Amino acid sequence: MDTLQHDGDEMEWKESARWVKFEEKVEEGGERWSKPHVSTLTLHSLFELRTCIQTGSVLLDLEGYSLPQIVDDIVDRQVADGLIGPELREKVSFVLLRKHRHQHKKPIHLSLADMGKSNNSPTSDSASGLHHSTEDLRMKNKFMKKIPRDAEASNVLIGEVDFLDKPFVAFVRLAQATTLGGLTEVPVPTRFLFVLLGPHGKGKSYNEIGRAIATLMVDDLFSDVAYKARDRDDLIAGIDEFLDEVIVLPPGEWDPKIRIEPPKKVPSADMRKSVLNLNELGQVNGTGTAGGPGGGEDEEMPIPHELGEELQFTGRFCGGLWLDIKRKVPWILSDFSQGFHIQSISAVLFIYLGCITNAITFGGLLGDATDNYQGVMESFLGTALAGTVFCLLGGQPLIILSSTGPILIFEKLLYEFCKSNTIDYMELRLWIGLHSCLQCLILVATDASYIIKYITRFTEEGFSSLISFIFISDAIKKMVGSFKYYPINRVFKPDYVTTYRCECIAPDQGEPLLSLLFFCCLDWSQLSKKECVKYGGALLGNACKYVPDLALISFILFFGTYSMTVSLKKFKTSRYFPTKCRSLVGDFSIIISILVFCGIDYLLGLDTPKLLHKYVCVFAVPALLVTILIFMDQQISAVIVNRKENKLKKGCGYHLDLFWVGILMAVCSFLGLPWYVAATVISIAHIDSLKMESESSAPGEQPQFLGVREQRLTGILVFVLTGVSIFLAPVLQYIPMPVLYGVFLYMGVASLAGIQFWERIKLYLMPAKHQPDFSFLRHVPLRRVHLFTLVQIICLAVLWTLKSTVAAIIFPVMILGLMVVRKMMDLMFSQHDLAWLDDILPEKEKKKEKDGKKKKDHKRTKAAEPESDEEPKSPLPPPVKIPMDTIDLPSAPDPSVTPPTQPPV
């Protein structure tokens, strides 16, 4: 929006505000733009704008290719309509053709300090920018990057002059968007032009009218009307539609000087349009409510629980598997080509560190549980083999296979059973793996993954919370364990340091293994502690048992890695430094944290812990437990990864995933490697590291989440690096284990962030007036919310207890039991409450749809019946507005012109 500025006899148009989506004003000092904020308009300005459109000139589909030509057409129309006299033609044209000065250009008069500097000529007929393509300018101009592609401009000119006695108003829509030289700040073609000139004394009112039309032009619904309007009445109807949605703030309870921050999320145009249509229908039928569009049966309900066509029951042998393969074949090339992006590097490094942390931790735990039948080395080899095959051939390559807590529990119990009954552990494990593989293949062939439709948010959150707590618990247990192996030296007294001594005493000379020469030539008093122990000497003295406080430095490394990672992740949304810098730091937060604390550990030089045929048919029974565990673990993780919130476009592959997991079970059983299944936490981290956001977003607008970079390359590289890590022991030995435990803790905590269950737990500690404005709190009584959360907490506690006891052998069945508990909750909660707190089960959705259809049919039948006892009602007068979706394209000069997808700037 440009405002006419006077300096004596000189006049020029000075840019005073701009809108891409939100309003930005030139601050009073005139040297900077304000922060983007939501436009707050006076209701009076909207009514005045409506009057301006009614009484002014409206030129639709004007053929104009230069500003002087457009100005001549506007003035001619005003003269022809008798709105101004012919004698004012030249004066109005002179004013409208004054030069335009934008925020980055110099004022009319230069200061003394600027005299020696070159002055950019801001004339409107400058054509220097036409020699460069828009794409080149987009890369050079920071503001241009904020503007969506194919955007068109709407220019608003507001001014006071002394030769008019009444307002001069014109609204222009050009037939073709045209670049009008220096009229706009950036080379964006102009489609709309609004001019308001008037006599002195009403400048503030004119400015508010200009802000009103500018705000309307960036509104999705009104801009659609402006593009398709056929006459003046359509524009007025569009303003009326806008007024229907306007919310008035009481002047005594609101400070107009306060600038409203842009919201993180705004309703889409389609949603607003549907609400408008519902309002109109309610008003016509007399069913409107005083609560607005949110009341009654038309209340917006949460998105129903849908998993797509991937889980349809085909009824054919391997029907689901065949459909998964057909669904994935067209994406083979893009699965690799889309991996060549800078974002993939950070994703590979992040997930690689997560995988080796998992392999080392679970490998060490597995070694302790099985007396090193399986350990860290087997864990590395198995992770590399299973992960590479799955990412190369699986249905959802974003899923990361890894050892998991439930698998570890089963392995531990199986080994203890074999040890107590003198059974060969590896042989029994082989047969269980083969039986489990066969059972998985049977599940694939019979489309058994169909039952995943009955896994709702209740089960997903319970399972993912359990896995997150396992990650957090294991990280803390390992960290606390370091205080046991490296206890804090409580007896050390600095003031008595002179009394501490330690010396190496030679062993008895009668020792046959030591030669006389060895005793004669070796100075035992000069040996180090390690050399003394190596050569068989004895350490004597009260200082020999002293060690530095490794537990404390380990805790600093552990908590420092976690804290720094969290801080750098949050830095991505901070206000400091440019967007690219913040984005780069946020993407590489894990790597930066690890490098920093590895460097601290290296500089300190402390020795912190570093990376070092008879009963074959009977084995089908424990194999069934493993199969249930594998099936639930794999498919629940897949459902979480494939949720529609992640906007995945290449489809799922539940049957294909389970097929390869079953095959890999058999392969790993033959090779004596650990079993692998989808790792929920690492898979979610993989998704988060590959999320894409819009590159060009309006100032103040949050970057839009576009989806996930779906490809196979990052997963393959992660597992190849994991396999190569066996040969990188000299490098990995510099990574302290506490640093990796910190990464472990971060992955567990980060996965809790988006879980509604965790948010509902925190509500127990908040007074009602301080609780966040969650959507489910608006529709479900708080006591019902707490009851639902309590049931989930009890289920989680039962699972955690079973996991930690001998009864953990039935742990897989208990995960399946979560689905049974969810089914029973239909008796405790209404379907309305469950729709907001969880998801409605499939058969309930169908029943609800049938009931709704019967209800609508009953209403139609009742409305069609004649009511003889009452007088026929006269039809309601037609509304003064036009529906948004019924406006035809303009029938003027060029009917082929279609509006762009973006609203005008």
Q: pLDDT tens-digit profile of 558-576? A: 888 888 888 888 887 777 7
Residue 276 placed within a domain: no
pLDDT in tens, 669-679: 888 888 888 88
pLDDT score of 868 more than 60: no
The values of phi and psi at residue 31, to 5°, are: -110, -5
CA angle 27, 33, 35 (to 5 degrees): 100
Last residue of a domain, one of 839, 865, 880: 839
Cβ(321)–Cβ(444) under 8 Å?
yes
**Bridge partners for 58 per DSSP:** 171
Residue 345 lies in a domain: yes
Per DSSP, the residues of 824-841 read HGGGTS-HHHHHHHS---
Q: Are residues 447 and 390 in the same domain?
A: yes
pLDDT at 777 (0 to 100): 85
**Residue 105 pLDDT grade (very low, low, confident, very high; cuts 50, 70, 90):** low
**Within a domain: 114:** no
Confidence of residue 118 (pLDDT cuts 50, 70, 90): very low
Q: Among candidates 394, 385, 397, which has minimal Cα distance to 338? A: 397
Of 533, 528, 547, 532, the C-alpha closest to 485 is 547
- The Cα-based distances of 507 to 519, 538, 541 in angstroms read 9, 7, 16
Q: Which of 708, 135, 152 is nearest to 397 (CA)?
A: 708
Instruction: Kindly report which listed range (580-589, 596-605, 683-692) carries the lowest average pLDDT score.
Output: 580-589
Domain that holds residue 767: 755-839
pLDDT at residue number 158: 92
Is residue 131 pLDDT above 50, yes or no?
no
Q: Which of 431-435, 524-528, 784-788, 897-901 has the lowest mean pLDDT?
A: 897-901
In a domain, 859, yes or no: no
Task: Say which residue, 881 or 194, is predicted with more confidence.
Answer: 194
Classify 618 in phi/psi space as left (phi over 0), alpha (psi -120 to 50) or beta.
alpha
What pLDDT does 116 receive? Answer: 39
The tens digit of pLDDT for each residue in 228-268 reads 999 999 999 999 999 988 888 888 888 878 888 888 777 76
- Give the pLDDT mean for 430-455: 84
User: For 485-511, what is each residue's pLDDT tens digit?
Assistant: 777 766 666 666 666 678 787 776 655
- What is the DSSP code (8-state) at residue 769? G
Same domain (yes/no): 745, 779: no
Residues 734 and 803 in one domain: no
Counting DSSP H helices and E strands in the chain, the numbers are 33, 15
The string of DSSP letters for 429-478 reads: HHHHHHHHHHHHHHHHHTTGGGGGGG--HHHHHHHHHHHHHHHHHHHHHH
Q: What is the pLDDT of residue 171?
A: 93
With H, G, I as helix, E, B as strand and everything else as coil, classify residue 388.
helix
pLDDT over threshold 70, residue 273: no
Average pLDDT, the chain: 75
Q: What is the DSSP code string of 165-177?
A: SS-EEEEEEEEEE
The amino acid that residue 699 corresponds to is P
pLDDT of residue 214: 92
Residue whose C-alpha is closest to residue 150's, from 189, 192, 194: 189
Give me the pLDDT at residue 898, please: 44
Instruction: Specify the pLDDT at position 83.
Output: 87
pLDDT at 435: 86
585-603 core/surface letters (b: 16 or more CB in 10 A; e: else): bbbbbbbbbbebbbebbee
Q: Is 73 in the same domain as 221?
A: yes
Q: Band the pLDDT of 208: cuts 50, 70, 90.
A: very high
Residue 178 lies in a domain: yes
Least confident of 127-136, 198-207, 702-711, 775-784: 127-136
Confidence class for position 135, pLDDT limits 50, 70, 90: very low
How many other C-beta atoms can be found within 10 angstroms of the C-beta atom of residue 66?
14
pLDDT for residue 215: 92
Residues 328 and 228 in one domain: no
pLDDT in tens, 38-78: 888 888 999 999 999 999 999 998 888 888 899 999 998 98
| pLDDT at 903 exceeding the cut of 60 | no
The radius of gyration of the chain's CA atoms, rounded to the nearest angstrom, is 36
pLDDT at 96 over 80: yes
Give mean pLDDT, residues 819-827: 85
Contacts of 900 (CB under 8 A, 6+ apart): 150, 151, 152
For residues 807 and 159, the model is more confident at 159
Task: Categorize the per-residue pLDDT at 733 as very low, low, confident or very high, splitting at 50, 70 and 90.
Answer: low
172-186, 604-618, 718-732, 874-888: the lowest-pLDDT one: 874-888
pLDDT at 897 over 50: no
Last residue of a domain, one of 813, 839, 865: 839
CA distance 709 to 689: 9
Q: Is 893 contained in some domain? A: no
pLDDT in tens, 613-650: 444 555 666 777 778 778 877 887 888 888 777 788 88
Residue 122 in this model has a pLDDT that exceeds 60: no
**Within this chain, do residues 650 and 722 fall inside the same structural domain, yes or no?**
yes
Q: Within this chain, do residues 203 and 94 fall inside the same structural domain, yes or no? A: yes
In the prediction, which pLDDT does 156 show?
A: 92
* Beta carbons of 180 and 127 less than 8 angstroms apart: no
Same domain, 7 and 151: yes
Mean per-residue pLDDT, 94-106: 76
Q: Does any domain span residue 803?
A: yes
Q: First CA to last CA across the chain, in angstroms?
A: 10
Instruction: Tell me, yes or no, whether 516 and 613 share the same domain.
Output: no
Degrees, nearest 5: CA angle 782-784-785:
65
- DSSP 8-state secondary structure symbol assigned to residue 34: P
Does the CA dihedral 386-389-393-396 come out positive or negative?
Answer: positive
Torsion on CA atoms 96, 100, 103, 107, rounded to nearest 10? -110
Examine the domain organization and report whether 469 and 579 are in the same domain: yes
pLDDT tops 70 at residue 590: yes
Q: Measure the CA dihedral 358/360/362/363, to 10°.
A: 140
Q: Helix, strand, or coil here: 562?
A: helix
- In the chain, the largest separation of any two C-alpha atoms, in whole Å, equals 128
Q: What is the per-residue pLDDT for 610? A: 65
Residues 393 and 523 in one domain: no
Q: Lowest-pLDDT range, 188-197, 372-381, 595-604, 807-816?
A: 807-816
Q: Number of folded domains in the chain? A: 4
Which range, 133-147, 343-357, 505-519, 882-896, has the best average confidence (pLDDT)? 343-357
Specify the amino acid at residue 140: K
Q: Look at residue 170 in the predicted model and tell me its pLDDT.
A: 92
Residues 250 and 163 in one domain: yes
For the chain, give the percent of residues with pLDDT over 70: 74
Choose among 396, 306, 397: nearest CA to 653.
396
Residue 304 confidence (pLDDT) above 70: no
Beta bridge partners of 540: 503
Instruction: Report residue 10's pLDDT band, with 50, 70 and 90 as the boundaries.
Output: confident
Domain end position, chosen among 540, 567, 596:
540
| Contacts of residue 743, Cβ cutoff 8 Å, sequence gap at least 6 | 353, 354, 357, 561, 562, 565, 590, 593, 594
pTM value surpassing 0.85: no
Nearest Cα to 632, choosing from 860, 818, 876?
818
CATH number at residue 237: 3.40.930.10
Within-domain flag for 294: no
Q: What is the pLDDT of residues 525-555, one digit of tens each?
A: 667 777 777 777 777 776 676 666 677 888 8
